[in-house]
Amino acid sequence: MSHSRKIKFVTDSTSDIPQELVEKWGITVIPVFVNIGDHSYADDGVDLRREEYYKELPSLVPLPTTAAPSPGLAKQYIEKAYEGADHLVIVTLASKLSATYDAIRLGASELPPENVTLIDSGSVTLALGYQVLCAAEVAAETGDLEQVLETIHRVRRHSKLIALIDTLEYLRRSGRVNFAAAGLGALLQVKPIITVNDGEVETLSRVRTAKRARQELVELLQEYAPVDRLALLHTNNLEGVTWMKEQLADLLPEEVLTVNVAPTIGTHIGPNCLGFVAVGKSWRS
C-alpha cells in the first residue's frame, strides 16, 4: 500500500451534498448558476433559497436558465482546495448534461497533472454526491489514492437515481431532453419516471396518475434493496418524502438524507417532483 496521502475533494453544487457533510469532509463545492431575468445567482444555498425558488418557479417568465461556472471561477476554487493537498480528486456532474465538466477541466489545467484526478460522475444530485462522500470516507481511513478511485467507480456502478416528474413542461421548455429519443412525444399528460444512465436521461415508465407513479417509485426502490446509502429527493414535496418513508420503513438504512434538490437541477424538472438515489450494499463487496 502506498504511504498515506492528504487527498482532498472538489465537486460542483449539483452534487446536493448537505452542508454539514461538506464541512465534515472538507469538500470544496464549485457553484453552478441559475439565471433569472438579467441576474445570475450562484446555486450555493445562500443566493437561492430552495423552498422559495420552487414556490416562485411556476410564475417565472421566461423560465430561468442554468449556466456552468466560468473556468476562471472554477480555477479559484480548485487552487484554494489544492493548498495543503497531496492529491486533488475532482468529481463533476455528467459532462453530457452540462458544460460544468469542461469549465472545471479548464480550471484545473494549470495544476500538476500527476496530482489531480478529474472524474465525470456520469450523473447528478446524490448519485454524484455519494461518489464523493464514500470516497472521502475511504480517503480518511486509508489515505490511499487507488482505493479512493476504486470506491468512486464502485459507488457509480452500484447507484440508482430515479425520479418521478410531476409535469414534463419544464423538461420540454429547458430543451435538456430529446423528447423523441426519450419516447415522450405528445405525452405531456403522463407522469414519467426517469433515470440517468451515463449522463443520458432515460424514461423507465410513463404512468397516468400521480398515485400510481408514486407506488411505482417505491417498488423500484424495493427491488434495489438492500440499500447502503439512501437519499430521498424532492422539489418542494416533503409530503411525498414522508409518504415514501412510511412505505419503505422496513428497508431504510440507518442514515437517510432528505434533499430538496439544487435549483440548477430543479429548473429543468420543475416543482413537486419526487425521487431517490440509492447505493446498493453490493458496492462494498
Shared domain for 166 and 153, answered yes or no, is: no
Question: How many domains is the chain built from?
Answer: 2
**Domain final residue, candidates 123, 157, 191:** 157
pLDDT at 182: 53
pLDDT tens profile 254-279: 889 999 999 999 999 999 999 999 99
pLDDT band at 187, cuts 50/70/90? low
pLDDT at 192: 86
Domain housing 144: 7-32+68-157
pLDDT tens profile 33-51: 999 999 999 999 888 999 9
Shared domain for 263 and 141, answered yes or no, is: no
pLDDT tens profile 114-151: 999 999 999 999 999 999 999 999 999 999 999 999 99
**Domain final residue, candidates 157, 190, 219:** 157
Shared domain for 114 and 185, answered yes or no, is: no
Nearest-CA neighbor of 122 among 105, 98, 148? 98
Residue found under cell 425521487: 275
Kindly tell me if the per-residue pLDDT of 154 is higher than 60. Answer: yes
pLDDT tens profile 201-237: 888 888 888 889 999 999 999 999 999 999 999 999 9
In whole angstroms, what separates CA 183 from the centre of its chain?
Answer: 24
pLDDT tens profile 89-102: 999 999 999 999 99
Shared domain for 190 and 273, answered yes or no, is: yes
**Domain final residue, candidates 157, 187, 206:** 157
Kindly tell me if the per-residue pLDDT of 1 is higher than 50. Answer: no
DSSP for the chain, written as a single string:
-PPP--EEEEEEGGG---HHHHHHHT-EEEPPEEEETTEEEE-SSSSS-HHHHHHHGGG-SSPPEEEPPPHHHHHHHHHHHHTT-SEEEEEES-TTT-THHHHHHHHTTTS-GGGEEEEE-SS-HHHHHHHHHHHHHHHHHH--HHHHHHHHHHHHHTEEEEEE-S-THHHHHHT-S-TTTTT-TT-TTSEEEEEEETTEEEEEEEESSHHHHHHHHHHHHHHH-SEEEEEEEESS-HHHHHHHHHHTGGG--S-EEEEE--HHHHHHH-SS-EEEEEEEGGGG-
Kindly tell me if the per-residue pLDDT of 183 is higher than 70. Answer: no
Shared domain for 115 and 149, answered yes or no, is: yes
Shared domain for 11 and 82, answered yes or no, is: yes
Judge whether 53 lies within some domain: no
Q: What is the pTM of this model?
A: 0.94
Judge whether 58 lies within some domain: no
Task: Say which CATH number the domain at 22 has.
Answer: 3.40.50.10440
Shared domain for 188 and 252, answered yes or no, is: yes
Judge whether 47 lies within some domain: no
Shared domain for 207 and 79, answered yes or no, is: no
pLDDT at 179: 58
Backbone dihedral region for residue 166 (phi beyond 0: left; psi -120 to 50: alpha; all else: beta)? alpha
Residue found under cell 438504512: 253
Judge whether 56 lies within some domain: no
In percent, the amount of the chain with pLDDT more than 90 equals: 77
